[in-house]
C-alpha cells in the first residue's frame, strides 16, 4: 500500500507505526475477497479524512492485520476505534440486510491487539508478513527466524 515516512507538522515531526489486529465478532469466518476489498476501500477513505497512513492491510478469514502510521495527536485507542467504526460502516453501507445477518450490526469483536513498530528493519519484515496474510508461507516465514528479545 504505502510506505512510512516522517510526518512534518507545525510543531513536531514523527514516525509512529502501529501493528493492529482486529478480530471478527465471535471470531467467525467472515472475511472473503469482496469484504476484504470493502475494508481496503474504507481504509483509503480513513486515510484521506484522518491523519493515518495504512502501510499494509492483511486479512485472514476471521481477523485483519493493519500496519498503520499516525500522528501523536491520535492515541492508539483512538486509532483502533476510528478504524473499527468506519470500516464497519463501509461494510454495511452497500447492503443493509447484511447488518442483520452479522450479529446485530457488529463486524468487530470488542478486543484488539496493538503494538508499536520500529522503522529500522522490523517495519519491512512486518509489512511483508501482513501482506502475505491468509497463506501458509506467512506463518512459516515469521516463525522461521529465531526469537530475539530486546531489552531497554
CATH 3.40.50.1100 fits 7-144, yes or no: no
For residue range 18-37, list pLDDT tens digits in order: 999 999 888 888 788 888 88
Helix, strand, or coil (residue 6): coil
Q: How far apart are CA 58 and CA 78, in angstroms?
A: 21
Vertex 23 angle, CA 126 and 127, to 5°: 10
Domain ranges of the chain: 7-144
Q: What pLDDT is recorded for position 136?
A: 62
For residue range 86-143, list pLDDT tens digits in order: 998 888 776 565 566 565 668 899 999 999 987 766 778 888 888 888 766 544 544 4
pTM higher than the cut 0.95: no
For residue range 66-75, list pLDDT tens digits in order: 999 999 999 9
Q: How many CA atoms lie within 13 A of 34 on its CB side?
A: 6
Per 3-state DSSP, the chain is made up of helix, strand and coil in percentages (nearest 5) of: 40, 25, 35
Per-residue pLDDT for 148 more than 80? no
Q: What pLDDT is recorded for position 34?
A: 83
Amino acid at each position: 500500500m504505502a510506505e512510512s515516512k516522517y510526518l512534518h507538522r507545525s510543531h513536531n515531526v514523527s514516525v509512529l507505526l502501529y501493528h493492529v489486529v482486529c478480530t471478527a465478532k465471535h471470531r467467525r469466518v467472515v472475511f472473503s475477497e469482496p469484504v476484504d476489498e470493502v475494508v481496503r476501500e474504507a481504509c483509503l477513505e480513513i486515510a484521506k479524512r484522518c491523519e493515518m497512513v495504512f502501510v499494509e492491510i492483511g486479512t485472514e478469514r476471521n481477523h485483519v492485520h493493519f500496519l498503520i502510521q499516525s500522528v501523536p495527536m491520535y492515541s492508539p485507542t483512538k486509532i483502533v476505534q476510528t478504524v473499527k467504526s468506519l470500516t464497519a460502516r463501509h461494510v454495511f453501507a452497500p447492503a443493509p440486510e447484511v447488518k442483520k445477518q452479522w450479529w446485530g450490526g457488529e463486524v468487530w469483536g470488542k478486543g484488539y491487539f496493538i503494538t508499536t513498530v520500529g522503522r529500522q528493519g522490523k517495519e519491512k519484515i512486518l509489512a511483508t508478513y501482513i501482506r502475505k496474510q491468509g497463506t501458509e508461507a506467512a506463518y512459516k516465514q515469521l516463525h522461521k527466524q529465531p526469537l530475539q528479545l530486546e531489552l531497554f
